[in-house]
Amino acid sequence: MTNRWYDEFDATFWLTLAGALFAFGGVVLQAILKSKCVEFKCFGVSCVREPLPADVDDELDTSELV
């Protein structure tokens, strides 16, 4: 039986690819949350928001998420 090109992609490849995609999504989300933009559109998702004033500390409080 011949070795097809898609037989080379095993579980390790798919796990690595999924991890890389989730990491990229996390980086994009972090950049969106820290930005001062009023409206943003990313991959078909859009949001209009009121950003924090420039004099407010933009450190994210994640204590309630734990």
| Partner residues linked to 41 by β-bridges | 46
pLDDT of amino acid 64:
81
Alpha helices in the chain (DSSP H): 11-34
Q: How many CB atoms lie within 10 A of CB 20?
A: 10
pLDDT of amino acid 23:
96
Helix (H, G, I), strand (E, B) or coil at 59: coil
Query: What letters, b where the CB count within 10 A reaches 16 and e where it falls short, cover 3-17?
Result: eeeeeeeeeeeeeee
Q: Tell me the per-residue pLDDT of 19-64, one tens digit each, with 9 for 90 and over.
A: 999 999 898 888 877 777 788 787 788 888 887 777 766 677 778 8
- Could you give the C-alpha distances from 17 to 5, 11, 26, in angstroms and in order? 17, 10, 14
pLDDT of amino acid 11:
87
pTM of the model: 0.54
Examine the pLDDT at 1 and tell me if it is beyond 60.
no
Average the pLDDT over 5-27 and give the result: 89
